[in-house]
Structure 1
Amino acid sequence: MRSIKSGIGIFSITLFILVTLGAWKIYSPGTQIEKLRMAEASQPVFALIYLAESLGYFADEKLEITYDSYTSGRDALNSVVSGKNDIATVYETPVVLQAFNGVELAVVAELHNSTSNTGLVARKDRGIHVAADLRGKRIGVPLKTNAEFFVSLFLSSHGIHPNEVTLVPVKPNDMAATLKGDTVDAISVWNPNLYKTKAAFSEDEITSFYSDVYTEISVLALKRDNADQRGEAILRLLRALKRAEAYLKENSAEAKKLVIAQLPPNVQITAPHVWDAFSAELKLDTVLLSTLQGEADWLKEAGSFSDKSMPDFTALIDTQYLNEIYPQAVTIE
């Protein structure tokens, strides 16, 4: 009888432990749905986001994302700063501008990089055949954007002083029509508007310029206080994007179709033509840090924020989340 009672007691304790552990697993915070409001700029370079959504990787992580679409990363980031959204897909330049304005941001991952997604298109009938011919010419560009930064670096690399050209402010969507007119001789912008501008001319009418002196980078950015509170959601987001990156590498043709299908109709038209102009990679590297610092130096030298101190970009880049789930993708301290 004593041994039977002992056996029953052990069984009861074991059952209690299993039930308790089971209950903990069921009600663990890790199994609860996390939600994020994402401001996205509807461009092919954000392919990893669209892939993770299409393939159900966010759902697998119990991460529910509500999308808010914008025509530029600048506006997407502004919505995060205002508190309307939690996280934004954005190019590096708006991040630098917000940092100068004193906004405390956290960049948790890069989404793409490219040396040929932003470029310059010039009209040959205006006497522009090589870079040196840009002297004395008018270049249309969206001011205070990565395109203007590209122009600055490109001109400098060819020994052309900024005072030797005239920059004309032009909206990205107006590039093709503006270059067709008489107010500029060349334009600089990113895809898809770069492609649209080139497509508006025959090949013998224009000269196109690209340069590896500038690496275009897009990132995922949040306000610092929000990032500190949403660590679990960020980890789930990055885990899903890591899977999307692996899928892209193994199934590039199918991935391309899935991404393009999720883009707005007007972007779907140009997306196939610009797909090979960028590399979708989840990482945090020294190229990002040097690009942010380089753009900040450029802005101060150009007279913007001359009264502001240089932002601490090493603090702005938050490696802890990506380092936890994908340490080999983090090459910045």
Structure 2
Amino acid sequence: MSTISRRIVLLSSAALAGAAFLGPADARDLKITIGYQTVVEPSKVPQADGAYESATKATIDWRKFDSGADVIAAIASGSVDIGYVGSSPLAAAASRELPIQTIFVVGLIGESEALVARNGAGIEKAADLAGKKVAVPFVSTTHYSLLAALKHEGVDPKWVDILNLRPPEIAAAWARGDIDAAYVWDPALGQIKTTGKVDSSQVAAWGAPTFDAWIVRTDFAERNPEAVRDFVKVTGAAYAEFLAKPDAWSVTSPQAAKIATITGAKLEDVPQLLRGYVFPTLEEQASDKFLGGGTVKAVEATSAFLKEQGKIDAVLPDYSEYVSSKYVSEALASN
């Protein structure tokens, strides 16, 4: 699944165009399908508490996905309204002009994703991956980071046997001894690093920062702007609560327990994984650093890299229509 099907995107465009003829939804009858991933981050708490349903007064169908590429495909087909993706699949989707908007930057990815080499595989640094079997979900932030690491070390990706596996498949392949290394996130990361060595390389310092984000189908947002605003408001409140007292989200806290239940991560790992991200506040979201400008530049830079690596066909002249600060600004105004 190294690319997003053009056919899916074309079909989705027709489906979304048809949906645009529908009138504004009655909030009491509104149904929202949200595609989430098992990433450890604060919004899993309001998800567990039913806070999104209360705020939007909607029925929400929460669907778990194993990768951002899968979320993008579901959004393209029209089966998901709001989805959680990484910057790499986001850039790939925008470059193919999928009608989406980035509405919330979850955070800059740090140690929450990692390259792990199997003990005894003879891998001490990224340069040692040549000739090895390395698993990664294609068109994900970890795929992007892996390619950036190889580029930094002067290793041609063709010299590496890169396998396209989803996180659960990576954990299974690791258990069987089928792969030498993997670049992935939790809960698979927590499973494989018990018998492997975590590479502490700082990919962001090499000029290839990654982030996660919530995106929305443009047609859904246009028909249900208040629901999107309320979704953003609930998400921002969860992040504000964590940022105010991060130490309170300890291993014995109800927040950590809820996150572990939703994600499948080990409870004892949750506090550390939360610290593996740099979470922006709602105010920062609306600023030039993120949705007010910086995120557009980040998506453009990611797209340029993906084009260089042959993962997308072309880079758009402008990505601003795929990033919106409207909903974070409205969420701030309604506080």
TM-score, shorter chain, exceeding 0.5 = yes
Are residue 76 (structure 1) and residue 71 (structure 2) matched? yes
CA RMSD of aligned residues (A): 3.2
Q: CA deviation at 1:57?
A: 7.0
- Counterpart residue type for residue 98 of structure 2: V
- Report what 1:211 is aligned to: 202
Q: Is the 8 A contact 2:109 2:210 kept in 1?
A: yes
Q: Is the 8 A contact 1:44 1:260 kept in 2?
A: no
- Report what 1:12 is aligned to: none
Q: Which stretch shows the higher mean deviation, 168-177 or 248-257?
A: 248-257
- Report what 1:296 is aligned to: 303
Q: Is the 8 A contact 2:44 2:259 kept in 1?
A: no
Deviations 1:291-333 (A, max 9, x none): 3223322322222333x45273221101122123338xxxxxx
- Report what 1:320 is aligned to: 326
- Report what 1:277 is aligned to: 276
Q: Is the 8 A contact 2:48 2:262 kept in 1?
A: no
Structure 2 Cα separation of the partners of residues 299 and 257 of structure 1:
40
- Counterpart residue type for residue 211 of structure 1: Q
Q: Normalised by the size of structure 2, how large is the TM-score? A: 0.74
Structure 2 Cα separation of the partners of residues 124 and 277 of structure 1:
23
Q: Is the 8 A contact 1:148 1:188 kept in 2?
A: yes
Q: CA deviation at 1:109?
A: 1.2
- Report what 2:32 is aligned to: 37
Structure 1 Cα separation of the partners of residues 56 and 130 of structure 2:
55
| TM alignment of 1:1-333, pairs within 5 A | 33=28, 35-48=30-43, 50-51=45-46, 54=49, 56=51, 59=54, 61=55, 63-72=57-66, 73-181=68-176, 183-199=178-194, 201=195, 206-213=197-204, 214-252=208-246, 253-254=248-249, 257-258=254-255, 260-261=257-258, 264=261, 267-269=264-266, 272=270, 274-281=273-280, 282=282, 283=285, 285=290, 288-306=295-313, 308-310=314-316, 312-326=318-332
Structure 1 Cα separation of the partners of residues 312 and 255 of structure 2:
42
Q: CA deviation at 1:153?
A: 1.0
Q: Tell me the SS of whatever aligns to 2:43.
A: helix
Q: CA deviation at 1:196?
A: 1.2
Q: Tell me the SS of whatever aligns to 1:126.
A: coil
Structure 2 Cα separation of the partners of residues 52 and 187 of structure 1:
29
Deviations 1:84-125 (A, max 9, x none): 332112222222232233311111111232222222111342
- Counterpart residue type for residue 246 of structure 1: A
Structure with bigger helix share is: 1
Q: Tell me the SS of whatever aligns to 1:75.
A: helix
Structure 2 Cα separation of the partners of residues 244 and 47 of structure 1:
6
Q: Is the 8 A contact 1:47 1:280 kept in 2?
A: no
> Could you list the runs of 5+ residues in structure 2 that have no partner in the other structure?
1-23
Q: CA deviation at 1:37?
A: 1.0
> Could you list the runs of 5+ residues in structure 1 that have no partner in the other structure?
1-28, 328-333
Percent identity (aligned): 19
Q: Is the 8 A contact 2:41 2:274 kept in 1?
A: no
Distance 1:319 1:101, change over 3 A: same
Q: Tell me the SS of whatever aligns to 1:189.
A: strand
Q: Normalised by the size of structure 1, how large is the TM-score? A: 0.74
Structure 2 Cα separation of the partners of residues 47 and 65 of structure 1:
21
Q: Is the 8 A contact 1:86 1:222 kept in 2?
A: yes
Which structure would you say has the larger Rg? 1
Q: CA deviation at 1:259?
A: 5.3
Query: How many pairs align?
Result: 292
Q: Tell me the SS of whatever aligns to 2:211.
A: strand
Structure 1 Cα separation of the partners of residues 125 and 265 of structure 2:
32
Structure 1 Cα separation of the partners of residues 154 and 331 of structure 2:
44
Q: Is the 8 A contact 1:57 1:244 kept in 2?
A: no
